[in-house]
Amino acid sequence: MLSGARVSIFLASRAILRGGKVGTLLNILIIAMVFTNMILLSAIIGGAVNLFHDQTIDYVTSDIVIRPERDERTLFHVDELLDRVNRVPRAARASARYSIGGTLSHEGSMVSIPITAFNPRDEIEVTKIHEHIVEGDFLSPADDGILLGQFVAGHEDPGLDFFESLGGVRVGDSVEVMFANGVLKTYRVKGIYSTKSYQADYMAFISWEEMDAVLGTRNTEATEVLVRAQSGEDLDLVKLRLLQFGVQERVETWNEAMTQVIADSMETFSIIDKISLAVSLIIAIVVIGIVFTIKTINQRHQIGIQKAIGISNRIIIGSYVAQVLFIWLFGSLAGMVVVNLLLLYFSANPLEFPDGDVVPVFEMATMLENAGWLAGASALAGFLPAWRITRENTLDAMRG
């Protein structure tokens, strides 16, 4: 068997050396482009998923979120809960949020969304919304202004808005808010932020003290508590420590806190990636199959002679598979060079998507896995034409 493999490799090497160099180089280029296509879409999808995860952590849930049990609406005695959470090792800081339904209106434009209150000193240590103020300033404790996401503020031209908006509110404008408890208040827009997260940018915030004024009493409840873990910590371990320190409410890491709709969206990305991989492999099989079908037809006479002198079908087929694997090897290496050049380019020039700048993720494990799939597809594309020709009668093959 080993000697047969050696003969196959010898025949393959002679065929490559005597064959057209331009044709071989073109075949290598085809494999390189197919390999790059397989990696690129997967890398873009991976970058988009990573962007969404980062936005979820930085602007919506932080690392860990504490929410009421499913049969409760709010967390009670939030001051005690914050003290307990802030004493947990590896938990850097916690920020309480309290949301109440409200309708914002400005010059005939209306938006109905939850109005969320937080302590600005805690919030800047837990989320990164304060880093993305595009107009005005972030809230301060006891502030009587309102902070709006860019999708809430909107544009004067409704065609530019993704959602219902206030029609182009700017910093300093007055906004009326009718809260769900019947309180009507007018706020000056203190700041407008833009994180490029569809979730975060369709929110409105007021200070915790201002919420006390809306409720007419000192608020000791929260709808959720966001917890920022220390950098590099295992979030499942931090969650376990929170439970060990007596946090009895529903504790979830950011990944667990994602809604089913978002989880389904992530699954859709995965399906698209698999479809792209399958299409790329089919393209590789078809293109290489056509090339080697033409090659075996042109070499029918030579194959007939090889069979006549006693070379087995297995060795002849192995020589063609070896040729195509040679092309796959150098094509994959060339594709990896292209992919690494793209990595350098996109690291300096991220793709600008409506929901943020995406840096494609090129992982070595993914490249090796896809190279393996491409090797299998290439071997199949080389095997089928050779197998079909070697099944012909030897005399018919020798006649060409």
87 within some domain: yes
256 within some domain: no
Q: Are residues 127 and 160 in the same domain?
A: yes
Domain that holds residue 202: 69-248
> Which one of 194, 213, 248 terminates a domain?
248
Residue 361 pLDDT: 84
Q: Residue 26: pLDDT band by 50, 70, 90 thresholds? A: confident
Q: Residue 121: pLDDT band by 50, 70, 90 thresholds? A: very high
Q: Are residues 291 and 379 in the same domain?
A: yes
Q: What is the pLDDT of residues 205-231, one digit of tens each?
A: 999 999 999 999 999 999 999 999 998
> Which one of 189, 213, 248 terminates a domain?
248
Q: Are residues 229 and 176 in the same domain?
A: yes
83 within some domain: yes
Residues 146-169 have a mean pLDDT of 88
Q: Are residues 107 and 189 in the same domain?
A: yes
pTM over 0.85: no
pLDDT above 60 (res 369): yes
- What are phi and psi for residue 104, nearest 5 degrees? -95, 140
Residues 65-81 have a mean pLDDT of 90
28 within some domain: yes
Q: Residue 11: pLDDT band by 50, 70, 90 thresholds? A: low
Is the CB of residue 372 less than 8 Å from the CB of residue 35?
no
Q: Are residues 279 and 242 in the same domain?
A: no
Q: Are residues 296 and 377 in the same domain?
A: yes
Q: Which two tokens stand for residue 400?
A: 């060409």
64 within some domain: no
Residues 116-138 have a mean pLDDT of 95
Q: Are residues 39 and 104 in the same domain?
A: no
> Which one of 221, 248, 275 terminates a domain?
248
Q: What is the pLDDT of residues 33-51, one digit of tens each?
A: 888 888 888 888 888 888 8
370 within some domain: yes
Q: Are residues 97 and 166 in the same domain?
A: yes
Mean pLDDT of the chain: 84
Residue 304 pLDDT: 65
Look at the alpha carbons of 71, 73, 74, 76 in this order and tell me if their dihedral is positive or negative: negative
Least confident range of 135-149, 194-208, 350-364: 350-364
Secondary structure string (H, E, C) spanning the chain = CHHHHHHHHHHHHHHHHHCCHHHHHHHHHHHHHHHHHHHHHHHHHHHHHHHHHHHHHHHHHECEEEECCCCCCCECCHHHHHHHHHCCCCEEEEEEEEEEEEEEEECCEEEEEEEEEECHHHHHHHCCHHHHEEEECCCCCCCCCEEEEHHHHCCCCHHHCCCCCCCCCCCCCEEEEEECCCCEEEEEEEEEECCCCCCHHHCEEEEHHHHHHHHCCCCCCECEEEEEECCCCCHHHHHHHHHHCCCCCEEEEHHHHCCHHHHHHHHHHHHHHHHHHHHHHHHHHHHHHHHHHHHHHHCHHHHHHHHHCCCCHHHHHHHHHHHHHHHHHHHHHHHHHHHHHHHHHHHHCCEEECCEEECCCCCHHHHHHHHHHHHHHHHHHHHHHHHHHHCCCHHHHHHC
The residue that leads in pLDDT, 172 or 312, is: 172
Quickly tell me which residue has 């979830």 as its tokens.
252
pLDDT above 90 (res 97): yes
Q: How far apart are CA 293 and CA 307, in angstroms?
A: 18
63 within some domain: no
Q: Are residues 243 and 266 in the same domain?
A: no
Least confident range of 149-153, 190-194, 302-306, 314-318: 302-306
Domain count, the chain: 2
Q: Are residues 12 and 159 in the same domain?
A: no
Q: Are residues 346 and 218 in the same domain?
A: no
Q: Residue 85: pLDDT band by 50, 70, 90 thresholds? A: very high
381 within some domain: yes
Q: Are residues 244 and 281 in the same domain?
A: no
